[in-house]
Structures are given as C-alpha cells and as structure tokens.
C-alpha cells in the first residue's frame, strides 16, 4: 500500500516560486499558462500486512502534524494498492 | 545569568551565539546538545541560526521534534526567557511557541547583508535595555525569512504589541525598500503572548563587537543584566 501525500501552500499564501516558474513558462512561449502553484509530493510505502484502517489513521496524522504546516499549507492524500 | 545555546545538527551560528552570550553576561555560556533533555540549570536559552537538519521538509520542521525541544517548551511555558535567532525563530514557529511561519523570501534569493531594525517594544527580556524606536544595525543571512501570519493573527500581534522588531531605514522609517524579504508588516521579530519568547530573523550575535561592523546586537543578550 502506498500513500501519495501532496502538500502545497494555502491559496491565500503568496507563492513566489510558483510565480517565478509561471513567468519562465510564459517567457518560453507557453502562452496558455495562466497560473502556477508549486507543491511537493511524498510517496510513503506502508509495511506489508499493515492494517489499512490503522495505516490511514497514521498517514492522516503524519500529514497534519509533520509533513504540512497548517499555518501556511494544506494537504491531500491519495492511496494506491 | 547562565545562558545556554542549543546545538542542532546543522546549526552554524552556535559558537557566535555562545561568544556574544558570554561577552554580554560575563559568564561562560554553555552549549546544549539537541539529544539531551537537560537544560543544565540555565536561566536563558538561545536557539541559534543555521540549517538544522539541512532545512529538510521545511526550515525548523524536524528540529522541533528534537528531545531538547520538549524541555525548551516547558522552560518557555514556565515564563523563562527564550531567544530564537534566524533558524531558531523558524524552529520556535514550527514548535508553536511563536505564531506564524517563515516563507521563502519574496525575491527568492538568499539575502546576506546589513539591515536596520526598529525596536517596536522594550517589554521583553531581550529588549528591556533598548529604547522604544531605537534603530539597530544588524545583519541578516537567510533564504526563508518572509514572515507570514493569517490576518487575524497579525491583527492580534499588532494589538498586543507583540511585534518587537521591524525592518526600517537607517533613520528608522518603515519603507518597502527597507524590507529585505517581503515580510508582512515589515516584521523582523515577534514575541509570544507571555512576552518571554522572542524570535527574530536578523543575527544580533553577528553584531556583538565593533570589529564586526556593529555592536548593536549585544544589547539583546545584555538586556537582562548590565554588561560587566
């Protein structure tokens, strides 16, 4: 079982890195690009035979308490068998 | 006054902080290893600058789980003085001992230069020896020093006079050009509601002797008692 946890800045928080990437893309001729927000993704492998309900609880807590800073970031979790 | 300086893997201003603390207090400051939980009877704790844990994940995000941080949190909650400098400020925010967070500099570059700070409040253990409105010349050296807090938290910080330092010109004016990193409200340093925990991005320990270009920073370490 693999958890994909995406962590990005909240929409209300300025993302200067995303803005710089957007400016570069436009300069390179990707004229259809209107906005870029940068995020990071964690690929977390669960132990073989781990209880799925317990694994989900742990990843939820890890995302909330460690992987994301709730002051500035939000996260989403996707599971893969 | 016995001052202790926490040493994390990746701290690189710990010796500068020990030197400034010893100079200001007249007593040999002690290093405190991050794996220890013993504050060795210190009366004041400094979290120094650097790149604890390589800034992996986020600045200060991993350091805040160090064993010594539980002891520092307890020490802070008991009302004792704690000063976080640069990475130390980032760690205090991650640990929830100070509100807000430090984002990537608005200009995206690592900025290393002398700046001016206006002392906005003398009601902390570290600024008690300063004058309100006094301008200090102290260097900055950071890539993630852009102070952010949600609007309601910012409003509360201002209302309770928890903004302790603001970036300013040499004459003490708050201008956009004097803000090196895009910090909201030009914030360079804040304190907690109890006023005993202070964090700032600039490096007062690098401005602790005239030979370093400025001795203005020494006042922060010396405010608790007169220099000997």
Cα–Cα distance, B221 to B17 (Å, whole number): 9
Evaluate the CA torsion angle B39, B44, B50, B51 in order and state its sign: positive
| Helix (H), strand (E) at residue B117 | strand B111-119
Assigned token pair, B95 = 């640990």
Domain range list for chain A: 2-80
Assembly ipTM: 0.88
> What is this structure's pTM?
0.94
Q: How far is B115 from chain A (nearest CA, A)?
A: 22
Assigned token pair, B51 = 């790149």
Residue B7 has a CB neighbour count (10 Å cut-off) of 22
Mark whether B116 is an active-site residue.
Answer: no
Nearest to A17 among B65, B99, B104 (CB): B104
Domain range list for chain B: 3-227
Touching check for A12 and chain B: CB below 8 Å? yes
Mark whether B203 is an active-site residue.
Answer: yes
Nearest to B101 among A16, A66, A69 (CB): A69
| Residue closest to A79 by CA, chosen among A6, A9, A16 | A6
Question: pLDDT (tens digit, 9 = 90+) per residue, B42-58?
Answer: 999 999 999 999 999 99
- In this prediction, residue B225 carries a pLDDT of 52
Question: pLDDT (tens digit, 9 = 90+) per residue, B183-203?
Answer: 999 999 999 999 999 999 999
Question: pLDDT (tens digit, 9 = 90+) per residue, B94-143?
Answer: 999 999 999 999 999 999 999 999 999 999 999 999 999 999 999 999 99
Tokens 């704690």 correspond to what residue? B82
Assigned token pair, B220 = 């922060």
Average pLDDT over residues B22-31: 95
CATH code for A2-80? 3.30.1280.10
Average pLDDT over residues A51-75: 97
Touching check for B202 and chain A: CB below 8 Å? no
Beta-strand pair B82-85/B111-119: unpaired
CATH 3.40.640.10 fits B3-227, yes or no: no
């Amino acid at each position: 079982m693999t958890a994909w946890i995406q962590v990005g800045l909240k929409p209300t928080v300025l993302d200067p890195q995303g803005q710089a990437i957007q400016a570069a893309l436009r300069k390179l001729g990707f004229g259809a690009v209107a906005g870029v927000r940068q995020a990071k993704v964690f690929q977390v492998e669960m132990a073989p035979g781990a209880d799925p309900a317990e694994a989900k609880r742990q990843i939820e807590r890890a995302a909330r308490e460690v992987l994301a800073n709730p002051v500035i970031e939000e996260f989403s979790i996707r599971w893969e068998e | 006054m016995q001052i202790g300086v926490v040493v994390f893997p990746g701290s690189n201003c710990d010796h500068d902080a020990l030197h400034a603390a010893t100079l200001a207090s007249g007593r040999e400051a002690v290093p405190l290893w991050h794996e220890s939980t013993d504050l060795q009877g210190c009366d004041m704790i400094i979290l120094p600058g650097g790149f604890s844990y390589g800034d992996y994940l986020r600045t200060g995000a991993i350091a805040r789980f160090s064993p010594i941080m539980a002891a520092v949190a307890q020490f802070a909650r008991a009302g004792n003085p704690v000063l976080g400098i640069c990475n130390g400020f980032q760690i205090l925010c991650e640990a929830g001992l100070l509100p807000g967070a430090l984002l990537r500099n608005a200009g995206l570059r690592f900025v290393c230069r002398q700046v001016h700070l206006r002392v906005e409040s003398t009601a902390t253990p570290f600024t008690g020896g300063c004058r309100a409105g006094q301008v200090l010349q102290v260097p900055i050296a950071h890539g993630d020093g852009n102070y952010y807090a949600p609007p309601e938290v910012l409003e509360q910080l201002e209302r309770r006079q928890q903004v302790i330092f603001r970036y300013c010109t040499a004459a003490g004016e708050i201008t956009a050009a004097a803000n090196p990193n895009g910090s909201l409200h030009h914030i360079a340093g804040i304190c907690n509601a109890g006023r005993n925990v202070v964090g700032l991005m600039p490096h007062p320990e690098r401005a602790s002797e005239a030979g370093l270009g400025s001795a203005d920073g020494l006042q922060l370490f010396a405010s608790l008692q007169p220099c000997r």
